[in-house]
Amino acid sequence: MALTCSWALLGDRRIRTLRDVARDRETEILESEVDCDDEGVFSHRLLFWPRDELTIDFTGLSPEIADREDGRVSLGGFFVEILPEDED
């Protein structure tokens, strides 16, 4: 299943955690869950092994389920970090 999140609230610590786990080939996702509060804000909680955990809050969610008979995995997901331009 693929989850597309929009309007994610990412700060420096969350971006740093995503970078660290993405660069570490030993890291695995142990648990992953998505909840929604009364105001419509979603929270995606991820528990990584051997270290770290992360919660990403966002307001839009689009789930997609695509079964493949041959067991292939789609590599279409990614996140984009937009940095402010230097103000010289």
- pLDDT at 78 > cutoff 60: no
- pLDDT value of residue 8: 84
Q: Locate 53 and state its tokens.
A: 């955990």
Stated pTM of the model: 0.61
- Residue 20: CB atoms within 10 A of its CB come to 14
Element (H, E) at 23: helix 12-23
- pLDDT value of residue 9: 83
Which tops the pLDDT comparison, 67 or 5?
Answer: 5
Tens-digit pLDDT profile for residues 19-56: 899 888 899 999 988 888 999 898 989 999 998 999 99
Q: Locate 70 and state its tokens.
A: 């041959």
Going by their DSSP bridges, the two strands 28-36 and 42-49 should be labelled as antiparallel
- pLDDT value of residue 57: 92
Cis peptide before 50 (omega within 30 of 0): yes
- Return the SS3 of 66: coil
